[in-house]
Chain A
């Protein structure tokens, strides 16, 4: 199969505006709950936006899976923007009255699988891609599956089992996007496992086609995926910054969990507006 061309008209400038707006929305939600996971959502914001607004076909035949479940705020705000989730749902995020938790739950609107325990998403994405291919009788326009992973969860053996199967099964309708922010809870992933990088060589050795781009450059992400050679499953490695867009959050591990206080919130909003302008 040759690379699938872009299905939507993808406007990088519009994507930048959306992503800043999404980050502000996440910060708004942060002011009434303690569990946030903002930093991880900010790092995969452009990757997720590019999937929803550029790569996935608008008729709903493609699937998005947020394997790095703690990045789900990025997905929630997009689903809200697209009318899949109500404003009420996000306002009630992580409350006793709400349906949305800090990890995606299968059964909620727009959520294709329960993820968040790391290392589960890739194998489910493989199964989904097989099902889509079989339903299409092997046709080249079979539903595609886009799976966003954290670089931390690529440490899980289960993820490598799934990578291995993705290429063994020749799943050309499978696209992984690794949010390579170089952070896990305790510190930098590159310090936890210095031999872990570079990821592209390892994935290529496992039979995948890869490309590495700045994961905050939506145009580069979009072009890399749509211009892939095809014939293999594809992995986009997005070099990203945890907490991207808010100076005091960037690359500071505590913001994996923390919500900003009112002063920090005001500063974050100001910084995001500045970037957006």
Chain B
């Protein structure tokens, strides 16, 4: 996902001199290196200075540029939070704050490097949108949209790192900003997710299909503005809905889906799976940390199977 983003941005930058990348001491992956070599005046490394990263992006945007602030999610959003809020949100500037490794992806680095509350934090800022692609294909679509949009405010762009599998395909609904998207459609059960953990959601959907259910798998790549109508429709059309989310229990997709379910008097069974409201103190693979938070295919199936 990270390399795809860099490749797309590099290609677009050839014809769009507005594109600037401001990084905070992160090694330029893949095509980011080409961008740096070919457009050095548009590639700024602030070093370990994230407040300046956001402020400089604001200044660039105030002068008509399309800047991308780029570093690990905790440092792009948490460290310079007031700059994100005031410089970008309050001024409603078209700056993309890229958060690499959203959720608990940096599984060996510990809690300081987990962005497990990022959706709630970014979502609380007025004017701020949130996009979290589930695979490199969605990352490509989102990056193109971020560059080519004519107007709009800041976007928190949450994605993984490298090596995510492609989950979307030709049968998936087309990617459209702000719209829920079905990767496959069924009648009985819907599994709803976004971001890197969609892989786990997909495996849950597979298992439930093997059980004989007709299963939908939907992704909500735009967390804000949320496709309230799309989620309401999903809740109405299925008997059982399962939300799988790599985020704290507050402020993410799961509680918002519950809210919509209440508002529309939904009659479906609704199960939500999120990270715990805890800092887990363990290390291992991404899957290990998710499991420590109670997120695994087995646990989800054990709960949702009748």
Instruction: Give residues 38-93 of B contacting A (CB, 8 Å).
Output: 41-42, 44, 46-47, 49, 51-52, 54-65, 67, 82-83, 86-87, 90-91
Contact of A127 with B86 at beta-carbon distance under 8 Å, contacts A134-B17, A165-B46 already known:
no
Q: Assess whether A123 is in contact with B62, with CB atoms less than 8 Å apart.
A: no
Size of the A side of the interface (Cβ < 8 Å), in residues, is 31
With a cutoff of 8 Å between Cβ atoms, the chain A residues found around residue B87 in the complex are 113-114, 120, 123-124
Is there a chain B Cβ closer than 8 Å to A158's Cβ? yes
Per the bound structure, the CA–CA distance linking A125 and B17 in Å amounts to: 20
Is there a chain B Cβ closer than 8 Å to A197's Cβ? no
Contact of A126 with B52 at beta-carbon distance under 8 Å, contacts A120-B87, A161-B46 already known:
yes
Is there a chain B Cβ closer than 8 Å to A129's Cβ? yes
- Residue-wise, chain A 92-131 has the 8 Å CB interface mask toward B (1 for contact) of 0000000000000011000011100101101111111111
- Residue-wise, chain A 125-148 has the 8 Å CB interface mask toward B (1 for contact) of 111111111110010000000000
Per the bound structure, the CA–CA distance linking A127 and B54 in Å amounts to: 9
Contact of A131 with B52 at beta-carbon distance under 8 Å, contacts A120-B87, A123-B59 already known:
no
Is there a chain B Cβ closer than 8 Å to A198's Cβ? no
Residue of A nearest to B80 (CB): A158
User: Is chain B's binding surface mostly helix, strand, loop or mixed?
Assistant: helix
Cβ distance A116 to chain B, nearest Cβ, rounded Å: 9
Contact of A113 with B58 at beta-carbon distance under 8 Å, contacts A120-B87, A127-B63, A128-B63 already known:
yes
Cβ distance A67 to chain B, nearest Cβ, rounded Å: 10
Is there a chain B Cβ closer than 8 Å to A55's Cβ? no
Contact of A112 with B51 at beta-carbon distance under 8 Å, contacts A127-B67, A138-B41 already known:
no
- Residue-wise, chain B 261-286 has the 8 Å CB interface mask toward A (1 for contact) of 00000000000000000000000000
Q: Assess whether B63 is in contact with A106, with CB atoms less than 8 Å apart.
A: no
Q: Assess whether A164 is in contact with B59, with CB atoms less than 8 Å apart.
A: no
Cβ distance A62 to chain B, nearest Cβ, rounded Å: 12
Per the bound structure, the CA–CA distance linking A222 and B144 in Å amounts to: 46
Per the bound structure, the CA–CA distance linking A55 and B46 in Å amounts to: 29
With a cutoff of 8 Å between Cβ atoms, the chain B residues found around residue A157 in the complex are 51
Cβ distance B68 to chain A, nearest Cβ, rounded Å: 13
Is there a chain B Cβ closer than 8 Å to A169's Cβ? yes
Per the bound structure, the CA–CA distance linking A158 and B81 in Å amounts to: 12
With a cutoff of 8 Å between Cβ atoms, the chain B residues found around residue A27 in the complex are none
Which of B17, B20, B60, B63 neighbours the largest number of chain A CB atoms within 10 Å of its CB? B63
Per the bound structure, the CA–CA distance linking A63 and B14 in Å amounts to: 28
With a cutoff of 8 Å between Cβ atoms, the chain A residues found around residue B62 in the complex are 106, 112-113, 124, 127-128, 131
Contact of A120 with B86 at beta-carbon distance under 8 Å, contacts A106-B62, A134-B17, A161-B51 already known:
yes
Cβ distance B232 to chain A, nearest Cβ, rounded Å: 35
Q: Assess whether B59 is in contact with A158, with CB atoms less than 8 Å apart.
A: no
Contact of A131 with B63 at beta-carbon distance under 8 Å, contacts A123-B55, A123-B58, A123-B83 already known:
yes
Per the bound structure, the CA–CA distance linking A113 and B178 in Å amounts to: 29
Residue of B nearest to A158 (CB): B51
Q: Assess whether B56 is in contact with A130, with CB atoms less than 8 Å apart.
A: yes
Residue of A nearest to B82 (CB): A117
- Given A113-B62, A135-B64, 7 more A-B residue pairs with CB atoms under 8 Å apart are A113-B91, A120-B87, A123-B52, A124-B55, A127-B57, A158-B51, A165-B44
28 contacts between A and B (CB under 8 A): A106-B91, A113-B59, A114-B87, A114-B90, A117-B82, A120-B87, A123-B56, A123-B58, A123-B83, A123-B87, A124-B55, A126-B52, A127-B55, A127-B59, A127-B61, A127-B62, A128-B59, A130-B56, A130-B59, A131-B64, A132-B63, A134-B17, A134-B41, A134-B42, A135-B64, A158-B51, A164-B47, A169-B44
